Structures are given as structure tokens and as C-alpha cells.
Amino acid sequence: MFRAILLMGLISSSAHGDLAGIWRGFYETPSGLAAMELSFRRKGSAWKAEFTATEVDGENTFSIRNLKISETEVSFITGDDREGGQMQCSGRFSGARLEGTFEMLHNGKGAYQGLWSTKRVTRTLGIPKPGSPVSPAGVSPRSQASRQPAVDLVAELPSPAGSLPVGRTTFFWKDSTGLETMTDDPNDCRELMVSLWYPAEWEGDITPALYFPHFDLLRTSSSVALPRSLNAHAFEKVLPSQVRQRFPVLLFSHGLGENTARYSSILEELASHGYVVAAIDHSYDNQGTVFPDGRILRLSDRWGRAFSGSQREQERFIIERLSVLVTDVSFVLNRLEELNSEEAGMFNGKLDMSHVGFFGHSLGGAIAPLVCQKDGRFKACLNMDGMPTSHVLIFDPALRLERPFMFLTEKPWPTELELERRALTRPEYEERDRARRRRMYHLLDTLNTESYVVLISGADHSSFSDNPLLASNTLSSSERNQRLLQIIRDYTRAFFDRYFVSHGDSLLDSPLTGPPEVTVERFGARVGP
């Protein structure tokens, strides 16, 4: 939340007489509709006003400059362009509402534009703690869970739903041409651990692989629990399946501070349906890496320093790291091509290098459009809830995105109190938020290929990993998190199946037959297979 005190200059007595009072409503952000409140008070010939908005980074106070009020219009500037950004607002009276447009500036450049809208109210609600999302039925699943007694519940991950057994093997690869920028030694090269999850042959009485190898070396006080069995559903270093000559290939990048093991449920699901998934542990950007020689690398403290600085410094560092991750992905694809051509290797000819896709979560998801822009070998890309900067999509402006793209994300479902704070009914909220998304993702409509934005009610940022299920401490929360995880698995596979397996109807083409938690929105041109 930030609370901004608007200190106004003298305004002539001809200023709009109906302005005084409290105006409550919302302003658009890349991730949703944020609550705002304007309070105007007149003292003699001067106005004093207060602007309050809900943000995720605590309470901040800004001065407001250049307030201008006429009979029909209002404009002002708030924020600090050197820190969190500067917001330039203009609006007009429209019936019972005061509403208009704004531009958010970061580092003197426009980050995004949006609408704001307020309605006069008679009382102040104050700023509550962030509410919990609720289900379409209007019941908060988290509040239900909180009323249930906690139990000593250690979950198991759901089994893969595909017909094929899953194998897993891990490689250590060193990019001798890629310098490691996270160390002080200018001669250090980029080193990565990459795990392959793949359709496997059933070899009788074999033992499942460990869920999280080297967990005891990498765990922290905040680490989520492991599955009760400590095992994955995959089997270590078994032979690839012979049911098909070759399989489409997907590359995966994790979120900041995570490890690929924490996405095992999604990776195993894809492999059981016939995909080879190369999951990259990005050194210094993950929780930690243990190399074959015993060296341990952990999340770089440069991330902490970046996030303790200004927003400008944060975004500069994030963009630099995104470029490194994109380079990692192309390097790994090069090594997979070599692996596929090793005559004596177990993966010789098993990888269909004409059908290659990319997906990632959070920081790893944000690079999805860049991967497809910069490396033409990738035929489709998917971002799982990755929005680490103020931009909803991160593109290289010098290049076009010519590949199908999907953004799989959470859908806010505000409580009744949160709706009241935005001065909206639920139908009004749905309509306004849908219009916001069309504007925020308007670039996708300019592409010559189809794109999707898929929203899941009840999900949050961590739902795209195994963590919420493994951290569940009630039966209802475990069931809810398992359902959300299965929805995410289904839509991830539906996207890649559309381009790599079957071009027929899928969940993406029949939104009315999908789960009630899911909203599918289409952008761009449909170019077919």
C-alpha cells in the first residue's frame, strides 16, 4: 500500500463544487485492478487531498504535484520516477464517477498505461490486509482450510497420468564460450546441471529416483517438505521408450531461488505423455547446485543486493539475468542436438529436434517470448506466471515473435470487501478486468500467430510448482492444491500437444468444457498447423 498526501495550491472558487468528499475505485496494473481512494477537502480557497492505493510492497508516502481542477477535469502527478515510478493521471467527471487514464513512468520512460475509475462514497474503509482469493462459489478456500485443524500431513505427488513410464537422468554441461558474470573471476565459464525427464522402457523391479537429490546439502530454514516417500515417480537412468522412434522436446527454466526438482509433477506428467523435457538448473539463480566434483553453488547474494536497491536497479539486474537465462537455454539445446547424434548414446535419434518448445515459471517463464524470438529452433513458448518487471510481456523490440505463445497465470477473485474497495460489483469487476487484459496484451493481437492467456481462479504464484501441495497441512488444502496442479498440468500439455502432437480440438479450443476455474482468452491470428 502506498499513501500519498496531495498538497494543493490555491484553486479558484469556480473549481468543481462537487469534488469534495471520498472517491473510491481502482487503477489498472499489469497484474490486475488495484484499489485506490481519493479524499478531497476544501479549506477556504485551497484544496487538500489524499490518495491511497493498495500495493504489494508495504506502505509508502509520496507527494502529489501539479494538481489541476476544473469544472469537468482533474489531473495530478504522484510517485518518484527515481524509485518506484511516477504516475501521471488525468480524469474527468462522468456521471457518478471520476475516472480517466494514467501513464506509469520508470526511469523517465513509459512502462505502461491504464485506466482509473472512482465513485463517491460516504465512508472510509481503510486499507485491510491483502485478502485471500475465493472460489467462484464465493467461499474462500483458504478460510475454510484455516477452520480445519492442522494435521501431520506429508503429501505424495500425484502419479503421472500418461501411459508411459518416466526416466530421469542428469548431465553436467560447461559452456566454454559463456562467461560467468556472477563471480569475480573473469575466466570463469557458465556451468549447468540439466535433468532430462523422458518416456522410458519398463525394466521390471526398478527403484524410483530420489525426488530432490542433494536436498540435505541445499535445504534452508524455509525449504518446503519433501514427499512422504522421498521419491519421484521417475526412474533413474533407465532406457528411453521404444514405443516411438523419437519424441518432441521441451526445455524448462525454474523460478528464482527454486530448483527443477520442485516441478517434478509437471515434468513427469509431460514425459509420461511422450515428451522429453530438459529442465535447466540455472546456477546462481536457483536455490543451489551440486556439481559432480562436490562443489556447491547457491543463490547469488547479488539478487539480494539488487532487490534492496531502487526499482531501477532491480529491473536493470533482472533484465541482465534474463539475457543470461536465454543464452543458457540455447546452449542446452545445442548440447541436446549433440546428444541426439551420439551413435553410441542412449538418446541417439530419440529426440525430435524439429518439434522443440520452451516453458518456464516466474523468472524462467518471463524469458519465454525472448527464447522464441532469438532462437528459431523453438516452435512454441509458454510463460507460467512470470512477470518479474512492470512489463506484462518482455520482448526484444528489434525482433518479431513468430511462434505460438501462451501465458498461464492466476486469476484474481476478489472478496466482497475487496470489491467494495474498488467500488465495483462482481460483474463490473469481471468486465473491467477483461478489458484491462485485452489492452495489456494488445501486442499479441498484432502477431501473425495465435496466442493464449489462460487464467486459473484460486491459483497463486507458487501453484505452478509442487510446493503448495507438499506444504498442505489439511486434507481440504491438499485436495485443492492437487486439483490446481492437475489443471496446470492439463493446460500445459494441451498447449504443446496442439503444435507437436495433434492439431485437433483441445482444452484451448473448447473453453466451455474445461474446468470452471479456468478462463481462456485468445489473441492474434489463427494460422493453423
Tens of pLDDT, residues 169-209: 999 999 999 899 999 999 999 999 999 999 999 877 788 99
Among the ranges given (8-17, 149-158, 290-299, 326-335), the one the predictor scored with the smallest mean pLDDT? 8-17
Residue found by looking up cell 527515481 in the block: 82
* Spans of all domains in the chain: 2-130, 166-524
Residue 124: closest CA among 24, 17, 2, 41: 24
Encode pLDDT of 367-413 as tens digits: 999 999 999 999 999 999 998 887 788 888 888 889 999 999 999 88
pLDDT > 70: percent of the chain = 86
- HSE value, Cβ hemisphere, 13 Å, CA-based, for 500: 30
CA 208 to each of CA 203, 291, 354, 452, 457: distance values in angstroms, whole numbers, following the listed order: 12, 22, 31, 36, 34
- How confident is the prediction for the chain on average, in pLDDT? 86
The pLDDT, as a whole number, for residue 153 is 60
Rounded to an integer, the average pLDDT of 444-463 is 92
Cβ(127)–Cβ(54) under 8 Å? yes
Rounded to an integer, the average pLDDT of 265-293 is 97
The pLDDT, as a whole number, for residue 83 is 60
Rg (CA), the chain: 25
Rounded to an integer, the average pLDDT of 443-464 is 92
Helix-, strand-, coil-residue percentages of the chain, each rounded to 5:
25, 35, 40
The pLDDT, as a whole number, for residue 145 is 39
Q: How far is CA 437 from the centre of its chain?
A: 15
pLDDT at 225 exceeding the cut of 80: yes
pLDDT at 132 exceeding the cut of 50: no
The pLDDT, as a whole number, for residue 167 is 97
Q: Which letter, b or e, does each residue of 236-272 get, where b requires 16 or more Cβ atoms within 10 Å of its Cβ?
A: eebebbeeeebbbbbbbbbbbbbbbbbbbbbbbbbbb
CB contact set of 61 (below 8 Å; sequence gap of 6+): 2, 3, 4, 5
Helical segments of 375-474, H only: 416-421, 426-440, 467-471
- What would the 3-class secondary structure string for 5-41 be? EEEEEECCCCCCCCCCEEEEEEEEECCEEEEEEEEEE
Among the ranges given (13-27, 326-340, 404-418), the one the predictor scored with the smallest mean pLDDT? 13-27
Residue 465: closest CA among 215, 184, 164, 256: 256
The pLDDT, as a whole number, for residue 6 is 41
Which CATH number does 166-524 carry?
A: 3.40.50.1820
- pLDDT tier, 3 (very low <50, low <70, confident <90, very high otherwise): very low
The pLDDT, as a whole number, for residue 141 is 37
- pLDDT tier, 56 (very low <50, low <70, confident <90, very high otherwise): very low
Domain 2-130 has CATH 2.40.128.120: yes
The pLDDT, as a whole number, for residue 425 is 95
Cβ(452)–Cβ(508) under 8 Å? yes
Backbone φ, ψ for residue 231 (5° rounding): -110, 155
Rounded to an integer, the average pLDDT of 410-427 is 92
The pLDDT, as a whole number, for residue 287 is 95
74 compared with 1, residue with greater pLDDT: 74
The pLDDT, as a whole number, for residue 137 is 31
Residue found by looking up cell 547474494 in the block: 301
- pLDDT tier, 67 (very low <50, low <70, confident <90, very high otherwise): confident
Encode pLDDT of 489-501 as tens digits: 999 999 999 999 8
The pLDDT, as a whole number, for residue 510 is 74
The pLDDT, as a whole number, for residue 243 is 94
**DSSP annotation of 414:** -
32 compared with 331, residue with greater pLDDT: 331
What is the maximal distance between C-alpha atoms in the chain? 88
The pLDDT, as a whole number, for residue 221 is 83
Q: Where are the beta strands (DSSP E) in 291-428?
A: 296-298, 351-361, 380-384, 405-411
Q: Count the helices and strands in the chain (H runs, E runs).
A: 11, 22
468 compared with 53, residue with greater pLDDT: 468
Backbone φ, ψ for residue 424 (5° rounding): -135, 145
The model's pTM is: 0.88
Cβ(276)–Cβ(198) under 8 Å? yes
Rounded to an integer, the average pLDDT of 511-517 is 83
CB contact set of 308 (below 8 Å; sequence gap of 6+): none
C-alpha grid cell, residue 417: 470487501
